[in-house]
Every structure is written in structure tokens, then in C-alpha cells.
Structure 1
Amino acid sequence: MTVTTALNVDELLTGAATKTGLTDFGDDWFREPLDVLVTSLNTEASLSPTGFQLTRHRLTALLADRLRLRALQREHPEVLDVEVRVAAEICGLPRTGSTLLHRLLAASPQLTSTLSWEVAYPVPFPGEGPDAAERKRRAQERMRVFAQLSPDFGDLHTVVWDGPEEDVLLLDRTFVSMSYDSFYRVPSYGDWLRTADQTPAYRELREWLQVLQWQQEGRTQPWVLKSPHHLTAVDTVLDAFPGCKIVMTHRSPVRAVPSYASMVRTMSSQYSEDVDPLWIGPYWSRRFATTLQVFADARQARPDRFVDVRFADTVAKPLVVAHDVLGELGLPPSRADDQAFAAYLRQNRAERHGSHSYSPADFGLAEDRLKRDFAFYTEVYL
């Protein structure tokens, strides 16, 4: 069953203003991606009644955060002077070991990373103290609700409310984010995303990182960030963060693409009762093939800005990989790093959930076809 009520951009903007008592969204460049997204959601996503309510609430909350960001910058202009240094953006196809590598590196005392509760609630609530108690409470409650809506998600991707999380969730507030075509069937939005100039979105990502640093005195370490979204804007990432290196995680697309299709099926089932796995597989296979071709061009132009990590190595010898990557980032590993890495690996073993089973055919994919379609990539990097 699909809803007949449509999302309306003006109503979303009004709802955010009413929620916050604020009206200044700043530069209205974000209206184009928001308009494209809402049109695609209304015409393609087959939202269920629950999915419609969740989506309207989510978009309103993201717009409210835009209002709060501008208000914070007006009240505390010193935020805009905070120096942001990004050491690395970890990216690669989803399901390639990037999460393990990110959380391992984020444990290093030489680096900092976005945390799950921070990307959910990046701006302090009125009257909230520096301990961010209310935001942390809401983040825990939000995670509990999410687990109820997607009980199988923990088998695919372990989420900890106070652990490292993808910075793409900050980009969600720009409405320029791969999150949307991962959670919804919105192919026209996906087409728009992969041709859009993402420079304004990454300018705002820097602003969000400034806000997070400003809130925590002494948080001056360079950032280690992570999301497969960044593969859609590699040149923009490198331009936006001059000292940043792309840490590219590699795994056979024959394994990675069906695994991500399984994850998308689980996530999108929260929002629609009309989820077609035979559509999901080919959609993401085409998306990722195109993305990797563009990545190859960007890498050829600036090869010194890239570090390669293979999935098999991350799984088999994570400490060696972490050492190697720190060295590539100009951060020689120390005894404190080794202790932090060992502690995280113990935690990871304790948090790990069960496995999930699937086959490429479940998602309209065939191994032989995947091998052919991604041969240009596997012959170079695997």
C-alpha cells in the first residue's frame, strides 16, 4: 500500500521553522537537491504510510538542523575560524572492510572521528550542557527504535550510539547524499546526484566539522572520516580538504555488490512495502561500475593522494594495515596507538553479530556478468 499524501517542500521548510522558532536557512543552494529528492520520493519511492511519516519527520529535522547551524554561527562567529584538518577519507565500495578500518583508525589518539550521536544531533539543544546529555539520550533512543524497525540490520552493520560513524550523515543535511538512494528507491535523484557539483555540500561538511570541534575543547587532531558516498565526488573531496588522502578499500565487486544489495533491501523495507530485490541489484551494479570508472580518472590525475587497502588484508592482519595507513598519513604509530587498536579489536569481537546469507541471484545478478562488468577495476586493484 502506498500513500496518496505527497511531501511538500514549502511545508517541510515551514515545519522546520515552527519547530525551531528560526527562519534563516542561509544560502538557499540546498533547495535544488531538496526539490529533486522530494520529487523523486513522491513519484518513485512507493512510500508506505509509516515510511511517509518517518521521511517527513526526518526531512523536517534535517532542515531544523540547518536553521540551528546558521543560528549557532551568528551567535558564535568564532566557530567559522576553527581550523579543520582531514587526514583521510576512507572510501571504497560498501562492504569492503571500510567500517572495520575506520573504527580501528578512529581509536588512534592521533586522530578524531565523527561519532554516531554527533552526526545524529550535531548542534547543542537550548540550555544543554557540555556533556551533551540530552543528545546522547536521544541518540540511544533513536538507535533502539531503528533496531525495532530493522531487526536484521545489526547482522549487516554494527552500530554503536557512541562509536565512530560515517560523516555522510552530516551531508544528509545538504540533501546531497548517497544515503537517500540507499534507503529509498529514487533513481532520478541518484541520476542527479552523480552529475551534480557537490562543492557547496563539502563546504558545509567542513562547517559541520568546525561545529563539532568547537564544542569539545582540545579536539585538535586531524579527522579520519569514512563513507562510500565520497566515491561520487573524489575530486571535490581532494579540493575541499587539501591535506586529505583517499584511503581506498578494495574487494571483489562479485562479493561487495550483492552484499550491499542485501543491505539496501533491509534498509529500504523500513520505508516501503514494495521493495524489489531484482531491481536493487542491477541498479547498484550499474551505479558502482560508473563510480569506479570516474574514480580511476581522478586517481590518475593525483596518484599521490591515494592509499590502497585490500579487504583480505584488513580482515587477516588489521594491526599491520592500521600501522601502514597511519604511516601513509604521516602519523608514525606509537605504543599508545597499538594499545588503542588492540582494545578496539577486543570490542569489535564482542559487538559482532551473526552473519547474513544471500546469493547474487536473489538480487537479479550473476557472478559471470559481475566479473565482466568490473573487470576494468579488478584487473588493476585486485
Structure 2
Amino acid sequence: MPDPVRLTDLAVPEFSADVRAIFDVMGPMADGLRLDSDQLHAMATEQTGGLADFGPRDYAERLDLLLAAMREIDDLTPVGLLNLHTQVLQMLKNRLLLVDLLARDPAIAERDLVPPVVIAGLPRTGTTHLHNLLAAGPTFRTLPYWESVEPFPVAAEAGDPGPRRERTAQATWFADEAMPYFKRMHEMTADHVHEEIQLLANDFSTMFYETIAEVPAWRDHYLAADQTPHYAHLRLQLKALQHLDEAGAPAAGVRPQRWLLKSPQHLEQLPVLAEVFPGAAVVVTHRDPVSVVVSMATMVVYTARMHRTPVPVARIAGYWADRIETMLGTLMTDRDLLPADTSADVRFDDFMADDLGTAQAVYALAGEPVTAAAATAMAAYLAEHQRDRHGRIDYRAADIGLDPDDLRARFAAYTERFLD
């Protein structure tokens, strides 16, 4: 196993000669691009073969606010502009394609949806491992990363996920080249099981944008807004994906009907989650918040090199310390609103000590049998995915301007309730 790595270039990122050469090619691709609603809408229409119906324009004000917040990012590089522009453009394309699909088959909206199983926990609390472990078997429907980015095909690619998958594979390859230590924090491949927060982003109301850019004005709007209609939009997208599953069968095989969802955002949206997905089985994960803040803030700081330089390390780390304090405070207020018979708390240390036993407990909570196929698949996943197989990061609070003692005091109430 590789030795632990301490990241020493967080503020002024260092890239290999190969990556610098790629940046030199990508930079001019940003010429003429603007974080501008009119331009983005026009490009989305062009790139979807002329589709022009984006559905109800209630999102327009939210999008304008988001774009204004992105324009405020200091030291945004040309590659960073291209990166952010591309992501927002894809979300508008996703809206066009969904509206077009619903227009061709309006019965999609009336479909039933089996109550999902939902993992709600901060990054670094074992959510990804639990998500992948549960997804290994044939019980649950999950999102591969490529599908979360491009859930709905353009007409020319209908029935063939290959082009969408290949575009995502190219993006993850480049990310691995530019951020060689990111896989030690959170492995990303085109096919890995991903969370649905990117589907939430298609309605332009989610904390997803906070993870890809420093946008405090967006955070303030998001926290003040009722997220119920946006979770309803997520539910609609899940129905549409199941419709596409059935339209593609039997060639693609019949996929499971029960969704397995996962996102840190759900921690501060438990009442909304329960209203939009009644009967959902919810698993809330917990870990020492000091470790969580330091590792998550380091990860966000590290990824910031993809769009800005220099990186304001201490400011971003402080933002995420505050943000996680807000999220966990909301969780403490709302946790008991979830029915006891369909929700459970999982401690990280307990999960690491018996990951298969934890997965079996989640199956039981969801009322699902652990079939022989599911047991075999989970055992195989564990055998092939040893913890820290890519190596570890030497996380240090001081490297990002945080004080562990201060963090420990700030999170004392949460620790006493969920970890002591």
C-alpha cells in the first residue's frame, strides 16, 4: 500500500507537465464563454438538436443568482470558467431532454415509485462505502456516475448509453490526471455508484454548487428556500429513469425498481425527504465531526485547483467548518421526525468493524431479504475494495487553518448525542 501523502501545494497548486499542456489546450476553449443565462440557454438548445422547451421557468431567478455568485469567484482560471460553464450547460440540457421525454410520454409523471432506501450522512462518514456495498447486489436501482451527469439521452443516442458513458470516462480520466491524490479521498469512475445530488442540481436548487465552487450568496438562498418542489423534481426524474429502463428492456435487462439514494444534503432536509418520499427507509451515518471537517475541507480545497489559483485555503476550510456545523445542527433538530421503524443511525467505527453486518441491518430495516445473490455480490465487493487501497492522505487541521480544539468544542453537543 502506498505511503500516506501530505498535501503541500493546496494554496498554489502544482501540476505535472502533461497536465499543464492539457490546460494550455483547454484554456482557449473558454474564449467567448460567459456565465450568462441567455448564452447558456441558447447553447443548450443548439446541443440538443433544437429543443427549446425548458419547462416552467420558475428556475430562472435561481439560475441567475447562481451564475452571479459564480462570477464573483476570485482568481477564476480559463479552465475553471470552462469547467463551471460546462456543468451548468449540461444541467440545462438535462432539463430540455426531460421535458421532451415527458411531452412524448406524459404518463411517466403518474408512475408509482417504491419507497427508496436513503443514506443520509456527511462525506467521510462511510456513506460511499455503504452505498457501494448495498448496490453490489441485484436488490436496488442505483445511479452510475455517467448517468447522474447525463441521465437522459439526446435523440441521436437513444438506446445507447455508450457515448454518455465515454464522455464521463474522459472527464474522470482528466480529473485523475490533474488531481492524482483525489482517488485517495473519493474514488470516481464513470461506472461507480453515485449520489443523486446531481439530479437535484438539474432544478437549480441544491447544495451541490457549494461543493464545486465558493458561492456563499448561493448558500444563503438555498438555506432560506423550501426544497420540497425540488425534491419533487428529483422524484420525477427517478420515474423518468425507470421509464427508460423499461423502454430499453429486454436488451439491457430489467433493472430493480427500488432506488438506493445517498446524499449529504438530506441531513438538513429530513422533513422534506419524508414528505416527498413517504415510507422511505433512512440510514443516518455518524463519525467524529473533527475528522469529518478536516478531511472534507481538505478535499474541497484540493478540488478547487480545478477552477482557481491561488486557492484561499483557510477561507474555504472555515466555510466548510461553519457549513457542517449548520448541517449537523439541523440534523439534531430534525432527526426525531423520522419514524423509528424506518430509520437508523450508524456509527462509522461500528460500520468499519462489521461492514457486512451493517449492510444486512440496512436490508432488514428496508424489509428486504438478503438473497444468496445479494450476499455473494456484497462479499465479492468487499474482497475487491479494501479500505485505503489507493493510499491515504495525511490530513492535518493546521494545513488548512483549522484548530481541532475549537472544532471539538463547536461539535460537543452533536458528539454527545450521536457518538458518546
**Given the alignment of the two structures, is residue 227 of structure 1 paired with residue 263 of structure 2, yes or no?**
yes
Q: After the TM superposition, which parts of structure 1 deviate over 3 Å for at least 4 consecutive aligned residues?
A: 3-6
> Unaligned regions of 5+ residues in structure 2, if any?
1-11, 13-29, 247-253
Native 8 Å contact 2:33 2:82 kept in 1: no
Structure 2 residue aligned with 1:8? 36
Structure 1 residue aligned with 2:168? 139
Structure 1 residue aligned with 2:383? 346
Q: Secondary structure at the match of 2:257?
A: coil
CA shift, 1:320, in A, is 0.5
Structure 2 residue aligned with 1:197? 226
Amino acid at match of 1:79: I
Amino acid at match of 1:97: G
Native 8 Å contact 1:238 1:245 kept in 2: no
Structure 1 residue aligned with 2:249? none
Structure 1 residue aligned with 2:152? 123
Structure 2 residue aligned with 1:57? 86
Deviates more, 1:56-65 or 1:6-15: 6-15
CA shift, 1:220, in A, is 4.2
Native 8 Å contact 2:283 2:343 kept in 1: yes
Q: TM-score, normalised by structure 1?
A: 0.94
5 Å-filtered alignment, 1:186-265, equals 186-217=215-246, 218-265=254-301
**Given the alignment of the two structures, is residue 162 of structure 1 paired with residue 184 of structure 2, yes or no?**
no
One of 299, 322, 338 as aligned partner of 1:302:
338
Q: Secondary structure at the match of 1:108?
A: coil
Rounded Cα–Cα distance in structure 2 between residues aligned with 1:27 and 1:312 = 46
Amino acid at match of 2:289: P
**Given the alignment of the two structures, is residue 313 of structure 1 paired with residue 341 of structure 2, yes or no?**
no
Q: Secondary structure at the match of 1:158?
A: coil
Amino acid at match of 2:210: D
Rounded Cα–Cα distance in structure 2 between residues aligned with 1:118 and 1:6 = 26
Native 8 Å contact 1:194 1:232 kept in 2: no
Q: Secondary structure at the match of 2:193?
A: coil
CA shift, 1:219, in A, is 2.9
CA shift, 1:57, in A, is 2.0
CA distance 1:179–1:149, change in 2 (3 Å): farther
Structure 2 residue aligned with 1:92? 121
CA shift, 1:56, in A, is 1.4
Structure 1 residue aligned with 2:142? 113
Overall identity of the aligned pairs, in %: 36
CA deviation string 1:48-106 (max 9, x = no partner): 11101221122112111111110111112232233222422212121100000011111
Q: Secondary structure at the match of 1:185?
A: coil
CA shift, 1:144, in A, is 1.5
Native 8 Å contact 1:86 1:224 kept in 2: no
Q: Secondary structure at the match of 1:47?
A: coil
Rounded Cα–Cα distance in structure 1 between residues aligned with 2:156 and 2:67 = 33
Q: State the number of aligned residues.
A: 382
5 Å-filtered alignment, 1:266-285, equals 266-285=302-321
5 Å-filtered alignment, 1:30-69, equals 30-69=59-98
CA distance 1:179–1:352, change in 2 (3 Å): farther
Deviates more, 1:4-13 or 1:363-372: 4-13
CA shift, 1:5, in A, is 7.7
Q: Secondary structure at the match of 1:349?
A: coil
CA distance 1:328–1:316, change in 2 (3 Å): same
One of 109, 124, 131 as aligned partner of 1:80:
109
CA deviation string 1:246-285 (max 9, x = no partner): 2111000110000001110121110111311211222111
Structure 1 residue aligned with 2:368? 331
CA deviation string 1:103-144 (max 9, x = no partner): 111123221211112112111232335342222222222222
Q: TM-score, normalised by structure 2?
A: 0.86
Structure 2 residue aligned with 1:101? 130
- Over the aligned positions, Cα root-mean-square deviation in angstroms equals 2.1
**Given the alignment of the two structures, is residue 17 of structure 1 paired with residue 45 of structure 2, yes or no?**
yes
Amino acid at match of 1:102: H
Native 8 Å contact 1:158 1:351 kept in 2: no
Native 8 Å contact 1:45 1:185 kept in 2: no
CA distance 1:221–1:53, change in 2 (3 Å): same
Q: Secondary structure at the match of 1:176?
A: coil
